Structure 1
Amino acid sequence: MKTSARTRRVGLYIRISDDREGAGLGVKRQEDDCRELAASLGWNVVEVYDDNDMSASSRRKKRKGYHRMLADIQSGHIDAVIAWHPDRMYRQPRELEDLMDLLDDLDVELRTVRAGAIDLTTPDGRMTARIQVAIAKREVEHRAHRIKRKVQQLVEAGKIHNSGHRPFGYDRIYEGTGSRRKIIEDRLNEDEARYVAEWADRALEGETLYSLVVDSVEKGIKTSTGGDFTYQAMRALLRSGRISGRKEHKGVIVGKAVWPGIISVEKSDALRALLDTKTEEYREEHGERLTTALKYPLSGLIRCTCRVPHVIGEPCDCKEQGLKHHRMRVSPRADRPVSIYTCQKDGGGCGARTIQVPDVEKAMETLVFARMEEVEAAVVEDLDDPRPALEEKLGNMEARVAELEVELDEGDRPVKEITASIQRIKGRMAKVQRELAELTVKKNVTDVGAAELRVEWENYSVPRKQAVYRGLIEEILIHPATRPFNVFNPKRIEVRWK
């Protein structure tokens, strides 16, 4: 390494990976030692590059202080660097190689408090540095392995990870202070837990997640990080195993946790199946956050038969033809102050068929009350609930998938053969989950009772009315208008019940 008797402009690079106290005491001690070395060398400290609480082995987070130091070396702002130890600057072989490339032909000295001078200009010096960084890399990998094993132990024991934001519905109890304090307990936050339980019930009654999000925003309910709820945040909350007192790892529930549950395991399982089934449907219908979905109870259910006309009362063969009835959307009527459902041309509709919103809503109220009475009568005659049998079937398929995954790890059978079997079973599982989800929503809706529904209907919010309709109805078909055209004909409405 080139040397010079002149007073060098030195930059101090200080870093600590884990500042548990959160007070920067570790980097402060490093800075004091580095300044003492600079004074003994007669060098002038012009910059301090601080990467507190920052790992040198992580590629996810950019070390701003380190990269600022490299830029200052290249520009000539500093011509010497002092660090407490070489591994404060680099713990990855790639970083060392980049540093050596940068220092080629530059008169820059590197010194450390603990390891002395670092000579990256000679073959022997470079070899020594490469050996040191290889040893450091090995230590990092061993540490990563120990951390993964610790995480696995926490998962298996259902314990709390010492990371992440406070979960909504719980108060987090810590030991110690600072940003890296240890989490020792999650206790129920009574106010937030009430919201979670309410949202879970409303979702199980068929209410859309977007209506829950809008309701939470209107009430000023914030997430645990202080922001408004979004569709993704609401879905993640209600789908999590945490709210039922269970440990979840990488999307899979692995067992009972040490914290208390807010809702029952049965409700949680039903919610997870329902949300997994309905996600694409919700995204399709509410992806643009259309206000019509919140203003009109029948939005998303009204369909025009222009694509697949058929006789009322006879089975529709649209599925056999690979076609769908065209969705009708709400728009204002030009000649009077009333909204209408219109089969719009965009997307292939006829662009002509309409029906007034008040007419179809009034007719549907009568039909749904009658349907609820029929369902009640059917329940009295047949008390068999198909859900336990479906849940048992689903459990058997999950067990079979687990067995196949063990076979996959053991390698006794061809990988392609096992993965194909797993995919086939998961396809059948998805079908059972959809069936369970629909039955759960329908049961929650019909549990209300026809008499109670008639009394309370006017007090129901639009989202709750939507939930009742969606729990009972697959789609509502609108047939062509009949003469006289100025008189509403309820026979134009054909309901396909679930």
Structure 2
Amino acid sequence: MKATTRARRVGIYLRISDDREGAGLGVDRQLKDCKPLAKQLGWNVVEIYDDNDMSATDRRKKRKGYHRMLADIQSGHIDAVIAWHPDRLYRQPRELEDLMDLLDDPELNVELRTARTGTIDLSTPDGRMLARIQVAVAKREVEHRRERILSKVQELVEAGAIHNSGHRAFGYDRHFDGTGPRRKITHETVNEREAAYIKDWADRALEGATLYSLVVEANDSGILTTTGGPWSYQGMRTLLRSGRVAGLKEHRGEIKGPAVWPAIIPVEKHKALRALLDTKTEEYRAEHGERKTTARKYPLSGLPRCTCKVPHTVGVPCTCKEEGKRHHRMKTSPRGDRPTGVYTCARDGGGCGARTIDIPHFEKAMEQLLFAQLEEVEAAVAEDPDDPRPALEEKLGKLERRKAELEVELDEGDRSVREITDALTRVKGRIATVQGELAEQSVKANVLDINVEDLRKAWEDYSVARKQAVYRGLIEEIIIHPATRPFNVFNPARIEIKWK
């Protein structure tokens, strides 16, 4: 009796690199060509592997359908593969070699067919040579296309033009030529509603508001990103730090020059924001990164410090930092015998856990001290209006130019690599220091630009985050001295402020 041959179990592999319409029409067309071939061969289609809108040359993205197909071949779930064309399966020489190793296994006995080119015989030297030639040609085309794309990108960068891809930038409206997914962006105009938010966030950040407080307020107000999602810390930082909102072309983190779209904030404000955010990012992360909520309940949180382990005398300059010592953080806590909270020296930071100061009285005293200080500074600025920022910006510019010279020198190899890298490290350190000073001066200047009387009138309407930004813009820390008799009477003399 003649033995019957079992029909092969075939998996159909489908892939298209760019599905602009998002409808999967390309892979559907491939499937219509592959199914009749399976029927003609008498093979049973048991799986369809779909990698829609997935490039075979982008190593950053894993082709899930393709790797599932390879796993099914190894497990014996399928013993034949049909693809529309060989280049749907592989576009890289490395992938071809891996596939040939798999198909060469006699125990698996896998057969490969394509709807457009028929049988691919990878078991013979001639078949392997032909496949290798095809994939080498395909790789060459991919590399040429990448060069053309990079060349076009460079042209757009140098011209400050708009890239015809990506999501709409927050603060701008796009205008197109034509319709459909391949329409071309002609120009962008300012979206006034979103631009108003950017201006407010920029001012608030320069007043000392934390990015987290801006994110919380934006999300609480229902302000969405251009993708329709909530704001994140990184999203807010990227927006405020970007040259785009200042009408500048930015490429790979570097400002290249003026752009063709209008600016929302001045270039000077952009430079101040960039210096501030580059300096403060690690500080923000360290302070807020593990918090479940980013909102603060009290405007002075984070500033009070206890001197329990390093006693001080009121009026005597503090030398703790010079001696390698530090004051202990005081945190808010409820008080059993009073309806209001207190700041308490934190035991978990090595503090005494005993010194406290009543929050309502403390906040009221600090408001009076703040306005008195602002009036003093306002009078001093009127007499001596010199702004240290231009000198710092000039110094920063010189350091940046020196850094660029050293980088060129490193490429040319005129001196030893060790010598140049050491010099680069020193210059980068000085740049970071100047950026920190510039950021601090920018925050201070923005706070001091507020008229004292206007601030008094608006103070009660300020959010906790905004009050905190004003305090942090002017105060380094607040030292809380021991309580004095009578203990049931609040003594503002316990408060010592270290102004910036």
Normalised by the length of structure 1, the TM-score is 0.92
Shift of 1:68: 3.4
1:257 aligns with 2:259: yes
Q: Which moved more, 1:110-119 or 1:297-306?
A: 110-119
Partner of 1:227: 229
Q: Which residue of 2 aligns with 1:409?
A: 411
Deviation at 1:175, TM superposition (A): 5.0
Instruction: Give 1:41 deviation, angstroms.
Output: 4.7
Q: 2:168 aligns with which of 160, 166, 169?
A: 166
- Alignment partner, residue 334 of structure 2: 332
Structure 2 partner of 1:203: 205
Partner of 1:118: 120
Q: How does 1:322-361 map onto structure 2 within 5 Å? A: 322-361=324-363
SS in 2 for 1:12: strand
Offset at 1:474? Answer: 1.1
Secondary structure in structure 2 of the residue aligned to 1:328: strand
The amino acid that maps onto 1:16 is I
* Cα distance between partner residues in 2 of 1:338 and 1:305: 23
Query: 1:349 and 1:173 mapped to 2: Cα distance?
Result: 60
The aligned counterpart of 1:190 is: 192
Alignment match, 1:454:
456
Q: Which moved more, 1:64-73 or 1:397-406?
A: 64-73
State the shift of 1:80 in Å. Answer: 2.9
**More displaced 10-residue stretch of structure 1: 332-341 or 443-452:** 443-452
Alignment size in residue pairs? 495
> 1:163 Cα deviation (Å)?
3.1
TM-fit CA distance, 1:77: 4.6
Report what 1:109 is aligned to.
111
Once the two structures are superposed, what CA deviation does each residue of 1:185-231 show, in whole Å capped at 9, x if it has no partner? 33322211111111111111112222211211211111112221122
The aligned runs of 1:453-492 (5 Å cut-off) are 453-492=455-494
Task: Give the structure 2 partner of residue 155 of structure 1.
Answer: 157
TM-aligned CA deviation for residue 39 of structure 1: 5.5
1: CA distance, partners of 2:209 / 2:307: 26
Secondary structure in 2 matching 1:119: coil
Whether contact under 8 Å (1:173, 1:183) holds in the other structure is: yes
Aligned equivalents of 1:8, 1:480: Cα separation in 2 = 87
Read off the aligned partner of 2:431 and give its amino acid letter. M
| Cα deviation, residue 268, structure 1 | 1.0
SS in 2 for 1:197: helix
2:53 is aligned to 53
Q: How many angstroms apart in 1 are the aligned matches of 2:309 and 2:245?
A: 45
The aligned counterpart of 1:12 is 12
Partner in structure 2 of residue 295 of structure 1: 297
Contact 1:17 1:52 in 2 (8 A): yes
Where structure 2 has 5 or more consecutive residues not aligned to the other structure, the ranges are none
Match of 1:89?
Answer: 89
How far apart in 1 are the matches of 2:39 and 2:290? 64
The residue that corresponds to 2:393 in the other structure is 391
CA distance in 2 between partners of 1:125 and 1:325 (Å): 76
Q: What is residue 419 of structure 1 aligned with on the other side?
A: 421
Between stretches 147-156 and 331-340, larger displacement belongs to: 147-156
Question: Among the aligned pairs, what percent are the same residue?
Answer: 74
2-side partners of 1:210 and 1:488: how far apart?
33
Q: What is the alpha-carbon distance in structure 2 between the residues aligned to residue 288 and residue 182 of structure 1?
A: 43
- SS where residue 18 of structure 2 aligns? coil
1:310: which partner in 2? Answer: 312
Q: 1:346 deviation in Å? A: 0.6
RMSD of aligned alpha carbons: 2.5
Q: Using the alignment, how far apart are the partners of 2:46 and 2:329 within structure 1?
A: 69
Counterpart AA for 2:86: P
Query: Taking structure 1 as reference, are residues 378 and 43 closer, same or farther at Cα in structure 2, changes over 3 Å only?
Result: same
Cα deviation digits, residues 325-357 of structure 1 (max 9, x gap): 111111111211111110021111111111111
Give the deviation of 1:364 after TM superposition. 1.2
Which deviates the most, 402-411 or 465-474? 402-411
Contact 1:56 1:63 in 2 (8 A): yes
Comparing 134-143 with 270-279, which one deviates more in the overlay? 134-143
* Distance of 2:371 and 2:100 partners within structure 1: 79
Task: Answer yes or no: is the 8 Å Cα contact 1:292–1:330 preserved in 2.
Answer: no
Cα contact 1:21–1:180 (8 A) shared by 2: no
- Could you give the per-residue CA deviations for residues 357-381 of structure 1, whole angstroms, max 9, x where no partner exists? 1121121111111111110111111
Say if 1:82 and 1:285 are closer, same or farther in 2 by CA, change over 3 A. Answer: closer
When structure 1 is superposed on structure 2, of 278-287 and 208-217 the one drifting more is 278-287
Q: Which runs of 4+ in 1 moved over 6 A?
A: none
| Counterpart-to-counterpart distance in 1, 2:460 and 2:204 | 18
Contact persistence 2:329–2:349 (CA under 8 A): no
What's the offset of the Cα at 1:324?
1.7
- When residues 130 and 459 of structure 1 are mapped into structure 2, their CA distance, relative to the original with a 3 A threshold, is same
Cα distance in 2, alignment partners of residues 406 and 261 from structure 1 = 32
- For the structure 1 residues 290 and 22, does the alpha-carbon distance in structure 2 shift closer, same or farther, using more than 3 Å as the test? closer
1 CA distance for matches of 2:137 and 2:293? 60
Cα distance in 2 for residues equivalent to 1:345 and 1:384:
44
Structure 1 gap ranges (5+): none
Separation (CA, whole Å) in 1 of partners of 2:28 and 2:293: 55
Name which of structure 1's ranges 10-19 and 24-33 shifts more when overlaid on structure 2.
24-33
Q: Give me the whole-angstrom Cα distance separating, in 2, the residues matched to 1:402 and 1:427.
A: 14
8 Å Cα contact 1:329-1:343 kept in structure 2: yes
Cα distance in structure 2, aligned partners of 1:470 and 1:372: 13
Shift in Å, 1:425? 1.3
Q: Is the 8 A contact 1:196 1:238 kept in 2?
A: yes
- Mapped to 1, the partners of 2:363 and 2:7 lie a distance apart of 87
Provide Cα deviations, 1:29-88, integer angstroms capped at 9, x if missing partner: 433443454455555555443323211112222223323333443444543333232221
Contact 1:333 1:339 (8 Å CA) reproduced: yes
AA partner of residue 17 (structure 1)? S
* Partner of residue 366, structure 2: 364
Aligned to 2:79: 79
Equivalent residue, structure 2, for 1:430: 432
Deviates more, 1:67-76 or 1:270-279: 67-76
Alignment partners' CA distance in 2, 1:58 and 1:187: 34
Aligned equivalents of 1:24, 1:175: Cα separation in 2:
25
Partner amino acid for 1:30? Answer: Q
Return the offset for 1:289: 3.5
Residue 46 to residue 342, structure 1, CA distance change in 2 (3 Å): closer
Structure 1 residue 30 corresponds to structure 2 residue 30: yes
Q: Aligned partner of 2:34: which letter?
A: C
Q: Separation in 1 of the partners of 2:89 and 2:425?
A: 47
| In 2: Cα distance, 1:284 partner to 1:68 partner | 41
Q: In structure 1, what residue type is equivalent to 2:495?
A: I
